[in-house]
Amino acid sequence: MALRSRQAMLTYLVLPALAVVLAAIVCPNASAEVTPPVTLKLSPETIEMGAFYDGARLRMEGKAPSGSKVMVVLRGVSKDEVFNKKDRVGPIWINVDKVHVTGPPSLFLRFSSEDVHTFLDRQTIDAYALDELSIRNRMHIRTEHGLRDPEALRLIGDQYVDLKKKEGSYRRIADRVHVTDIGNGEARYTLEIGWPKLATPGSYQVEVYACRDGRIVGQSGAALQLVEVGFPAFMAAAAREHPYGYGILAVIMAVIAGFGIDALAVLLGGKKKHIPAEAHPMPRPQPAHRTMAAAAGAGKSPPLAQDGGLPISQPVPANRAMAASAGASATRSSDMGP
Amino acid sequence: MAKLVLAAVFAFTLPLFLPIAGVSINMGLLASVGMVVGFLSGLLGVGGGFLMTPILMMIGIPPIVAAASDTNAIVATSASGVAAHFRLNNVDFKMGGFCLLGGLFGSAIGVQAVKILRARGNADLLISVMYVVVLGGLGGFMVYNSLVKLRRGVMAPKIRKAGSNVFSTFLARLPFQMDFARSGVRHSVLLPFVLCSMVGIMTALMGVGGGFIMVPAMVYLLRMPAHVAVGTDLFQILFTCIGVTLMQAASNHTVDVVLALMIAAGSTIGAQLGARVSRHMRGEQLLIVLGVLALVVCLKMAVGIALPPSNPLSGAGGHAMLKAADHNAALVCVRDFVRSSLWH
């Protein structure tokens, strides 16, 4: 009887109590269930790129658990990229290989309320790909010469990240997200940035992370669309859908522009007189057979060609050619012949 | 008039969104860049791509769009330059036609040469060395030769004895002799064709438009006057770039008409100014400017291949002049164009 009551006590009282204690030890953030969710309001959600688009202001705001650090990450879609790789060959540096990079985002902008490394550990940063190092570790690198050395591939990854940083596609800015406690265990965060005007049309992912005690306690996300509208949209569609017509149009417009500017220049500058023969002589050593023919002596001096050059259909007297040469040198030499 | 100028200045401060490049750039910046490059184009007969594409990349245009749109802009610039030079009687259409044919033929051969060299794995080395040697040699020769002529001044040019030049005799005996009235020369049609084929091979290997090489070749080997060589070269560039633009638009969809027209607005004005300035310069002076430019580019290339790069990785769509031993996107399209038009 006593044994039964002991078993019942073990089943109904001790084990559940043990389970609660174990749960509290294993899952210390069981109380996170009551943590207020992270919200994100993106304004605007779509950036329209018209003919005179010059970038845009982008505002991100929302709520996060009180006392948490907030981090906002903007990512562009990942796309495959190809690079030339230089190496030293003898005394010079030349392209020796082609590198194909797959996986990294085309854009990576990270804004936070503090330096991320002060409130997140390396493992978490790697798990969520929250810095360039973790992006580098995730990218796939292939070279056309089949490079396999992990150290060399890692070096190429570093060089890729360096390239992206230099072109401004990868950036990290701390102390940019403003967080204010609003009570009830909640805080309000705001971030306002000038959207980079060199960012190309497409879809971008905005991610917000609330971090506390070295971990991410909540996150939210939204998509930002960059779309061409109006004239740019029309031109982009024409180039895509009617490439031949678009190409012909491009050529015609360029030719018209060229001749149009020329006509305008004539109009504004006044029509120039045709270059007279004396001002634009063509003195040059004649081909041997013509010079020899000239040396043989043609009676009358031939008239100069209308365009200022020497007559071609008739032999040229040597003395005439020399005189023309001398005259040309005195005014303006256009003879570069040897 | 003042209001018009103010309106123009205001318009130049406006940003402009480029639909194919997908980026926003200041209009005035684009037009100014175009004007500087167009000036050189009109003055020297070079297409300007070797300068324009790297500059566009520097201000944020994606490399492949920069190369394609630059080619489209060169259509406008060279059309303007050809018109200006035509009025000045500086375009030899007949010579330009043969050169164009030869250039296309040579490019086709050059494309295959690059293919073979790439398969052997030594194309980049050869191209790097070619850049330095050809540009350095050509630039140095042009500057030296022109300085010698300028020093000679108004003295009568050295007259060679008729028939003493074996090369001239050989050229005179070639078949298909033809008069090129505008250039004031008589050559076998084989000469411009073969010469321009050789230049075409070099331009295909080196990835430049050819103005750098074509103008000196016309002057020194075809014996054309420098001014006519410049005008005729622009005529040839016009047609080459029309072909490349069509090909880029059709195959890659990378021609940004808005970008091209903005550059062209500046570069056509620059080309007009360049053509006018060229009228007031002696041929030797023009060649000195071109030679110095070639030497500067050669120096940049030499430094570029001799010093370790800040980052060994570089975009695969860039311009050859920016990155030693690298072919630009425009060249790839020239190759595709030549290959498709001639061999398929």
Quote ipTM for the complex. Answer: 0.74
* Torsional class of B260: left (φ above 0), alpha (ψ -120 to 50), beta (otherwise): alpha
Look up tokens 């071109």; give the residue.
B290
Rounded percentage of chain A residues whose pLDDT exceeds 90: 35
Identify the residue among A83, A85, A86 best suited for mutation to test binding to B, counting B beta carbons within 10 A and taking the highest: A86
pLDDT at A326 over 60: no
Distance of alpha carbon B129 from alpha carbon B206, whole angstroms: 10
Q: How far off is chain B from A123, nearest CA to CA, in Å?
A: 29
Give the dihedral of Cα atoms B323, B327, B333, B339; nearest 10 deg: 170
CA dihedral A207, B25, A44, B254 (to 10 degrees): -70
What are the phi and psi torsion angles at B240 (to 5°)? Answer: -60, -45
Measure B329 CA to nearest chain A CA, in Å: 13
Please give the mean pLDDT across all residues of chain A.
75
Nearest residue in B to A197, CA atom: B24
What are the pLDDT digits (tens) for A128-166?
A: 999 999 999 999 999 888 888 889 899 999 999 998 988
Structure tokens, A236: 């982009």
B344 touches chain A (CB under 8 A): no
The pTM assigned to this predicted structure is 0.66
pLDDT of residue B124: 67
Better-scored residue on pLDDT, A174 or A332: A174
Task: Verify whether the Cβ–Cβ distance A236 to B287 is below 8 Å.
Answer: no
Dump the DSSP string for B298-329: HHHHHHHHHSPPSSSEEETT--TTTSTT---H
Q: Extract the runs of DSSP E, i.e. beta strands, from chain A.
A: 41-43, 46-49, 56-65, 69-76, 81-89, 92-102, 108-112, 140-143, 170-173, 178-183, 186-195, 202-212, 215-228
Q: Which residue of A has its CA nearest to B269?
A: A261
Q: Would you say residue A331 has pLDDT above 70? A: no
* 344 residues of chain B, pLDDT tens digit each: 667 666 766 666 788 889 888 888 888 888 888 888 888 877 876 666 667 777 887 787 887 788 788 888 888 888 888 888 888 888 899 888 888 888 888 877 877 777 777 666 666 667 777 778 877 887 888 888 888 877 776 444 444 444 456 777 777 788 888 888 888 888 888 888 888 888 777 766 665 656 777 888 888 888 888 888 888 888 888 888 888 788 888 877 888 999 998 888 888 788 778 878 887 887 778 888 888 887 887 888 788 778 888 888 876 644 333 333 233 444 444 444 443 433 33
- Please give the residue of chain B at the shortest CA–CA distance from A233: B19
What is the rounded distance in angstroms from the CA atom of residue B45 to the CA atom of residue B24? 31
Burial of B178 (0-12, 13-18, 19+ CB in 10 A): middle
CB contact under 8 A, A284 and B184: yes
**pLDDT surpasses 70 at A104:** yes
Residue contact B77–A84, C-beta within 8 A:
no
Per-residue confidence at A275, pLDDT binned at 50, 70, 90? Answer: very low
- Smallest CA-to-CA distance from B264 within B252, B251, B255 is with B255
Nearest to B182 among A49, A160, A309 (CB): A309
| Window A:209-238, CB contacts with B under 8 Å | 228, 231-236
Range name among A50-54, A239-243, A272-276, B46-50 with the lowest pLDDT average: A272-276
Residues of A in contact with B272 (CB under 8 A): 261-262, 265
Question: What pLDDT shows up at residue A289?
Answer: 40
User: Tell me: the pLDDT tens digits for A280-321?
Assistant: 444 444 443 443 333 333 333 333 333 333 333 333 333 333
Q: What is the pLDDT of residue B322?
A: 34
Q: Please check the confidence at residue A224 and state whether its pLDDT lies above 90.
A: yes
For residue B168, give the nearest of A89, A239, A288 by CB distance.
Answer: A288
Best of B17, B20, B35, B149 to disrupt the A interface (most A CBs within 10 Å) is B17
CB-CB contact of B44 with B286 (8 Å): yes
- Bridge partners of B187? B178
Tell me how far the alpha carbon of residue A327 is from its chain's centroid.
Answer: 57
| Residues within 8 A of A (CB atoms), B 164-183 only | 165, 168-169, 171-172, 179, 181-183
Contact A74, A206 (CB under 8 A): yes
**What are the tokens at A248?**
């012909």
Q: Searching chain A, which residue's CA lies closest to the CA of residue B228?
A: A334
DSSP secondary structure code for residue B246 in this structure: H
Q: Quick one: pLDDT band at residue A233, thresholds 50, 70, 90?
A: very high
- Cβ pairs bridging A and B (under 8 Å): 293
Q: Is A337 on the interface with B (CB under 8 A)?
A: yes
Residues paired with residue B140 on neighbouring β-strands, in sequence order: none
**Phi/psi zone of residue B89: left (φ > 0), alpha (ψ -120 to 50 degrees), beta?**
left
Residue A194 pLDDT greater than 60, yes or no: yes
- Whether residue A11 is predicted with pLDDT greater than 90 in this model: the reply is no
**Residue B15: predicted pLDDT:** 85
Mean pLDDT of A247-269: 87
Instruction: Report the alpha-carbon distance of residue B163 to residue A34 in Å, rounded.
Output: 103
Query: What pLDDT digit, counting tens, does each position of A16-51 carry?
Result: 556 555 555 554 444 445 677 899 999 999 999 988
Residue A256: pLDDT band by 50, 70, 90 thresholds? very high
Place of tokens 């030899």: B92
